[in-house]
Chains A and B, each alone.
Chain A
Amino acid sequence: DQQVKQNSPSLSVQEGRISILNCDYTNSMFDYFLWYKKYPAEGPTFLISISSIKDKNEDGRFTVFLNKSAKHLSLHIVPSQPGDSAVYFCAALTGGGNKLTFGTGTQLKVEL
Chain B
Amino acid sequence: ETGVTQSPTHLIKTRGQQVTLRCSSQSGHNTVSWYQQALGQGPQFIFQYYREEENGRGNFPPRFSGLQFPNYSSELNVNALELDDSALYLCASSLRVGAGVYEQYFGPGTRLTVT
Contact = CB atoms under 8 A, between A and B. Distances in A.
B18 interface: no
A95 B31 CA distance: 16
Given A42-B108, A104-B42, A105-B42, A99 B58 contact: yes
Contacts of A79: none
B1 interface: no
A46 B104 contact: yes
Interface in B20-52: 31, 33, 35, 40-45, 48, 50
A44 B43 contact: yes
B43 A102 contact: yes
Interface of B: 4, 6, 31, 33, 35, 40-45, 48, 50, 55-56, 58, 90, 92, 98-109
A49 B43 CA distance: 17
Contacts of A104: 40-42
Interface residues of A, number: 25
Contact of B56 (A32, A34, A41, A97): A97
A99 B60 CA distance: 13
Interface of A: 4, 32, 34, 36, 41-46, 49, 89, 91, 93, 95-105
Given A43-B109, A46-B105, A93-B102, A100 B45 contact: yes
A41 B42 CA distance: 14
Please give me the 7 A-B residue pairs with the lowest Cβ-Cβ distance, nearest first: A96-B100, A102-B42, A43-B106, A98-B56, A98-B48, A99-B45, A44-B106
A49 B103 contact: yes
B45 A101 contact: yes
A99 B48 contact: yes
12 contacts: A4-B42, A34-B102, A41-B108, A43-B109, A44-B90, A44-B106, A46-B103, A93-B102, A97-B56, A98-B101, A100-B92, A102-B42
